[in-house]
Amino acid sequence: MTETIPHWLTKQAYLAPNQPAIELENGTTLTFLELKQKSQIFARKLASLGVKNGDHIGVLSTNDVRMIIAIHALSYLGSVGVLLNTRLTTQELNYQLRDAKVSIVLTLDDLYPKAEQLDVEIVRSFSMIDDCMEKKIPLVTELNLEDDFTIIYTSGTTGFPKGVVHTYGNHWWSAISSALNLGLSKEDKWLATLPMFHVGGLSIYLKSVIYGMPVMLFEKFHVGSVHHAIMHRGVTMISVVTIMVQRLMEKLGEEFYPEHFRCMLLGGGPAPKALLEKAKEKLVPVFQSYGMTETSSQIATLSPHDALNKVGSSGKPLVPAQLDIINPDHENIGEILVKGPMVTKGYFQNQAANEGSFKDGWLATGDLGYLDEEGFLYVVDRRKDLIISGGENIYPSEVESVIAGLEQVKEVGVVGVENEKWGQVPYAFIVPNDPKLDKEDVYHFLQTRLAAYKIPNEIYFVEELPRNASNKLVRSKLLNLMNK
């Protein structure tokens, strides 16, 4: 039997109408009642554009309160939001729009010129929607936890981006699981700087309406203003990636955070031990976590209490979640499986990927790891060969398949290289068909085809690629070619 709950934003507007829901960098706040009213008006305007129950609607926006309003508006219509990474190229976006069967894209006004290039029937900026008439229609009052709410694309080891479908239930359980782990206080205020088009960013705004908690919305991560907000604006929690921790720690210097600041939730890859030690010394409550788009946000977390005893661990799975390691090798390292009600039921219309990844309710993550004797998870390889650069995932296979599209390229291998600023950056090793091919040609070709952060920082031309006995590319040996 399917569970239904009252619409979460309507509910908070009823429980706590005057409680701030969103606080902007400039100090403006929006209460839950105001957020509901604006979202419902926006929904009725979208309805006049023809948006209806079940439609897949693209949303192309950087962090902005109008993006939140748009997402809640879609929930009031029963439509599904396909959240688009603004850093992708037109070609990359068109692939996702086509795959997700999107015919309407909503966009931040500033991004309208970019959105106009997209291959969809209708493109509207948020301001253009504001100018529409409201259509008098009944709005959604109850959320069925099995209904689809968002689709967010993720690449995989195969290199083809896949649309991860999140139901209302996935997001609900993710928020509840996090609360069971981190606790819940009426004093909480979560600072959001991660992109809302990633699940880690989006999840903060959904926690907001599920908990009745204010979120401080920052368009971007500016170390100065984030530091100031933690020190002086009542922030109790923040979601970060490693690079942000580094910069915040530098900024913190000799100071200490206020006592009510109780959680720095660290996602997007492992943190260096030196950084964790520094954080402990400065009493910064860093919670290392493990999660992915498919798990709707973190699915395992390590508390600050254990951070130094268990360096490199991502902790234990959240209360409703389960982890398993299959096919362990002689060091007990195997593939990490995850299960739980926050895990996506599948990729959008992608039978091959679903059959490959899901079995008996378990999702095979492709990541390698092991559990220690106390059951703490250590992730050894974030998916095989995955490159994490400034919190963004880069799949070597995706970059390789784009570069291979250049006819002067015979074969290509891409690998991540440690980088002080970004954690990792991609390097490409190309075996050319044509000796005249140079780096400029490659960069020119990639410019329109790959988001900037995916474009290799270095390109090497080599005679052949390292391969194993079955002739498969061994990316881990690519770096040896640098000295040749």
Strand partners, 323: 338
Q: Could you tell me the smallest distance in angstroms from the CB atom of residue 296 to a copy of itself?
A: 14
Q: How far is the CB of 8 from a copy of itself (least distance, A)?
A: 7
CB nearer a copy of itself, residue 319 or residue 404: 319
Q: How far is the CB of 348 from a copy of itself (least distance, A)?
A: 17
CA–CA separation, 343 vs 390, rounded Å?
24
Minimum distance from CB of 95 to a copy of itself (Å)?
A: 29
- Residues near a copy of itself, by CB under 8 A: 1, 3-6, 8, 11-12, 14-15, 142, 146, 169, 173, 176, 179-180, 183-186, 210-212, 316, 319-322, 339-341, 345, 361, 375
In the complex, least distance from residue 343 CB atom to a copy of itself, rounded to whole angstroms? 11
Q: What is the C-alpha to C-alpha distance for residues 67 and 129, in angstroms, rounded to an integer?
A: 12
Q: Which is nearer to a copy of itself, 20 or 340 (CB)?
A: 340
Question: Which CB, 193 or 314, lies closer to a copy of itself?
Answer: 314
d(CA 352, CA 342): 22
Least separation in angstroms between CB 184 and a copy of itself: 4
Q: What is the CA radius of gyration of the chain?
A: 22
Token pair recorded at residue 219 = 């368009």
Burial group, residue 384, by CB count within 10 angstroms (0-12, 13-18, 19+): middle
Q: For a copy of itself, which is the closer residue by CB, 142 or 355?
A: 142
The residue with tokens 């969809």 is 120
Q: How far is CA 329 from the centre of its chain?
A: 30
Give the integer Cα–Cα distance in Å for 321 and 32: 30
Phi, psi (rounded to 5 degrees) for 296: 65, 15
Cβ nearer to a copy of itself, comparing 225 with 322: 322
Q: How far apart, in whole angstroms, are the C-alpha atoms of residue 347 and residue 378? A: 26
293, amino acid identity: T
- Write down the least CB distance from residue 318 to a copy of itself, Å: 9
**Residue 343 or 387 having the CB closest to a copy of itself:** 343
Distance CA 13, CA 117 (A): 38
Question: Of 3 and 277, which CB lies nearer to a copy of itself in the complex structure?
Answer: 3
